[in-house]
Amino acid sequence: MQVRKCQVLVVGAGPGGYVAAIRSAQLGLDTVIVEGERAGGTCLIRGCIPSKAMIHAAHKFHDLAKHSKKGGHMGISIPGPAELEMAGLKGWKDDIVDRLNKGVEHLLKSAGAELITGWAEFKDAKTAIVGDIQIEAENVILANGSIPIELPFMKYGGNVISSREALDLDEKVDHLVVIGGGYIGLELGIVHRMLGSEVTVIEAMDSVLPIFDKELRRPLEIFLKKNKVKVNTGVFAKGVEELDNGRTLVKFIDKNNADDESKMQTVEADKVLVTVGRRPRSDGLAPTGVALNERGFIKVNKRCETNMKGVYAIGDVTDLGEMLAHVASFQGEMVAENIAGKNREFDPVAVPAIVFTEPEIVSVGLSPDEAKAAGHPVITGKFPLAANGRALTQEAEKTGGFVRIVAREDDHRILGVQAVGTHVSELVGEWTLAIEMGALLEDIAATIHAHPTMTEMTHEAVLATLGHAIHIA
């Protein structure tokens, strides 16, 4: 067996792992990165990027339908209805993924990190076997990521699919049933609705996206109703039954009558998309000796160190931080620099969260309720997309969205920003930076924002918080 000794071994080439490997190599460390599938990981290959490509395509298709109606739209008419060819859409999406995958491989090579394809099997904390190669490392970074949670009574296979298969369909689905009204289920459910599928959502909580407050959810709930997405909240999925016609019968029941079989409801589906969360990919780590919590996440401190000296863990597989690609990337860079002798900790003031539904929902920092619960004296201000010129020129105001600022009443320090509406995700960088730097309302108010852009809404929302917005009465 070939033996490869290195200073840093990174397991997993997702957004955490490949960033860690690139930064380690940049810092002059002999670095090997191992990936069982394709460089880029879940986010790039079968998650964030392909889903956003599908979302963009769905918007295009949905918009074309407006132009093909009698009288057209914006003065633009299309003679006939737009036609959807799912295989072509899938090919376009796959081309984007392929380009980014090759880009990651090129970046690793250019930085001097060695990419080895295969699954790592650990012999001990710092020795892994990949095919016929034994890798012996001074430091190990575990970036194993996460996988979709499988319901025991609704196993994946056939018509029951995860988000991975939902992004790889060759044919349009007539009726998609989504189990779980979280961000993954709603993003993909709305995509398929905009592509012309019938969509039904089954959610156990009393609302979809329960992590957001009612004010933020309201525009999305209106969109779902307007576009005839059938949403069933407060119900438990109970199982599936394969039918002779090739479809699948989905069973669900109101949670208040969960023990009464006579209250069971059913709906037929062509595909059943199960999106009830993700779990850490921590199987097979026993030989490393790293400690896991009761849910299978690797325990780490703020430096992402495990209980084993020289073994680190980052991203979705850890119990530190949200399961977000940008969190994994941040931690990957941080760990590489710590191995090289720096002293950094994961202690962000603000971590942005985005749901790419229609309309989009964005939150960074504290909501009004969270700020009050933390003991802050709170003032808030809102500015609607309907009062922003750039939003109107992009028809972004039709979603009924807004930007909301949360600040301390006494010293005017910005505590959080939330928004809902078309295109609002592109505004989150300024908000995150403002909170991270401890900006005051006056700092934003005194900053010139370019016109006409949607960033002006941040300025106006701050002015509204101060009590003197210009463009709303």
Q: Which residues are designated catalytic? A: 451
Whether 430 contacts 424, CB under 8 Å: no
Closest CA to 273 of 151, 112, 400, 418: 151
Angle between helices 86-111 and 48-68 (to 10 degrees): 140
> Hey, what are 23's tokens?
């930064």
- Interatomic CA distance for residues 411 and 360, integer angstroms: 31
| Cβ proximity of 37 and 147 under 8 Å | no
Q: How would you classify residue 105: left for phi > 0, otherwise alpha for psi between -120 and 50, otherwise beta?
A: alpha
User: Helix axis angle, 17-26 relative to 325-339, nearest 10°?
Assistant: 30
Q: How does DSSP classify residue 51? A: H
Residue carrying structure tokens 């090919």: 91
Angle between helices 214-226 and 183-194 (to 10 degrees): 30
Angle between helices 17-26 and 86-111 (to 10 degrees): 30
Please, is 386 exposed, middle or buried when counting C-beta atoms within 10 Å of its C-beta (0-12, 13-18, 19+)? middle
- Among all chains, which residue has been given the structure tokens 């037929």? 268
What residues contact 262, with CB distance under 8 A and at least 6 apart?
none
